[in-house]
Chains A and B, each alone.
Chain A
Amino acid sequence: MDDITLLDAAERYLRGEMTEEERKLFEELRKNNADVDQLVVEHHFFLDEMNRHANIKNLRSTLHDTHIALLKEGAIREIPTGRARLVYLWTRYKRTIAVAASIAGVTALLFSGMVTVLTPKADKNQVEVLGRKLDILEKNQNHTNSELRDVKHKIEIPGTPAKFGGTGFLIDAKGLLVTNAHVVKNASRVTVQNKSGLELNAKTIFVDDSLDIAILKIDDSLFKALNALPYAIKKSSNDLAEPIYTLGYPRDEIVYGEGYLSAKTGFNGDTLTCQISVAANPGNSGGPVLNKNGEVIGILSTRQVAAEGVVFAINSKNIFRALDQMKRTDTSFQNIKLPGNSAMKSMDRVQQVKKVQDCVFMVKGY
């Protein structure tokens, strides 16, 4: 029995188209063969499903036709969606809208009321106060300006102003000083002043602009020569991170500052100078830079404008070079010998400074 014959038999059986004999035979087959029984049940369900599908399709088209027919008759009517929606929204929310509108209205009135009642008064007061304050501010400013002008006048009229200022220190007990060339540059007259305020005349006897070193000689009867210098001038190179200190005259008083050697070369790799980290101000120029043993390792000369705490000192060995050059041109200084030994090696810093400060002078150029 192939599929189609079986299907035909099942269909005829389900429709009751079989003869009595056939039906009995088929029922026997159903009972004995589960597959056939399964097919009959399945086919019954499937035919039902097909029928139902057809009926619903039919009903759908009938319903559709009915809808159109009833619309035509006027038994039902279509409400345009847009209007219906508006009407619907209105009918649904009219109470809410009314409440919202009245709240909005009341709030608006309240706010505008508050604005008109409260704001102008407050504004007026503030404006007046502000005006008065402005007046006071202006007066204060004028006053400050006039005061500033007075101060300026005072600053600008010192008795006999020094054009340049700097520091210098002795390299020879007899009165030879070293300072920066830029300190005494363009000066027609140079004086030096010791820590007690005594001003002594001095002479520039040597200037080397390339080294930025100038050598002065104190030429004043008031100057009392020292027995010996407490410090030594160091000829060898220095060590990184070596603690250092300086003395100088950034103001009328001698000022002490300490720091460390931060680089062996100076600005842009200049080998004539080294970089030190110390507080330095204009006026410190030409001051000695000493190490812990009381040896002069350099002459404080410049600082980097763009950077904080970057100060450059001319290596002390350049003092020897400058002296040698001077000796070559001026035979009167042949006997000068720079101090090679420090007398302060075992001294503490305070003791060292006490000794050194006698040898450090303020240099003034007129």
Chain B
Amino acid sequence: MGYQSWHKSINTDLVDSYKQEQELLKALAVNDKKAIEKIYEDNYSLIQNLILNNSGTEEDAKDIFQEAVIILYEKSKSDSFELSCQIKTYVYSVCRRLWLKRLQYIRRYEAEIASLVEIVPVEEDMEEHDKRSLQFGMMEKAMTSIGEPCKSLLEAYYINKKSMQEIAENFGYTNADNAKNQKYKCLLRLKKLFFAQYKNGN
């Protein structure tokens, strides 16, 4: 009887933690601040140890960990999202991979990292991430190239989802139509800049 209840409680614990993690990831997908804090708190020190024990610095640890959280975020946002392991395991595996890559880049030789924690294969996700970070860089470059007020105008409309009326008032356009026209002109320029890189890159 005692054995059975113990067994049952393990099971419910596992189910609970799994449910908890799924909730956490859903929250992460919508940029929830509390979820981010929780993930950060739970996993950072493990990654910190990994990086510092493998000739990295505090700054490296922060960079690598945050990069891994971004990868997790992108994964959680994707339609075919499915995490078959614990967040901890996934984050650790990603960080290990990222750090190995960085070490190889710095030292130009095959590095080895002794793994103390279970790792899962993350190669596919890494490839996807590499592609995405390339596109991120292109967009970043295009955004900085178009200059002001285009950048602020586009950010206000597309990212901060402000109405054309609000934007017209904030940016000093006589009416919403005028602001809208200006916004499209900026958008055309931005697209041109972005796709110029995109076509070169691919």
Contacts and interface: CB of A to CB of B under 8 A. Distances in A.
Interface string B22-53: 00000000010100110011001100100011
B126 interface: no
A60 B67 CA distance: 9
Contact of B37 (A3, A66, A92): A66
Interface stretch (B11-19, B134-142, B165-173): B134-142
A70 B44 contact: yes
Contact of A76 (B41, B158, B188): B41
Contacts of B74: 52, 56
A42 B185 CA distance: 17
Interface of B is mostly: helix
A128 interface: no
Contacts of B143: 53
A3 B181 CA distance: 11
B114 to A, nearest CB: 9
Interface stretch (B1-9, B55-63, B81-89, B96-104): B55-63
A84 B139 contact: no
B187 to A, nearest CB: 7
A304 B37 CA distance: 104
Given A8-B180, A56-B136, A81-B58, A50 B158 contact: yes
Contacts of A3: 184, 188
Interface of A is mostly: helix
A307 interface: no
Given A49-B139, A52-B136, A66 B36 contact: yes
Interface string A206-234: 00000000000000000000000000000
Contacts of B135: 49, 52
Nearest to A39: B191
A350 interface: no
B70 A4 contact: no
Contacts of B33: 62, 66
A46 interface: yes
Contacts of A50: 139, 154, 158-159
A88 B37 contact: no
7 contacts: A42-B191, A55-B31, A56-B74, A76-B44, A84-B52, A88-B53, A91-B53
The 7 lowest CB-CB distance pairs between A and B, nearest first, are A54-B159, A53-B139, A4-B184, A63-B66, A84-B52, A81-B57, A76-B44
Given A59-B70, A63-B40, 15 more contacts: A4-B184, A50-B159, A54-B155, A55-B77, A59-B36, A67-B40, A69-B37, A70-B37, A70-B44, A79-B48, A80-B58, A81-B57, A85-B55, A88-B52, A88-B55
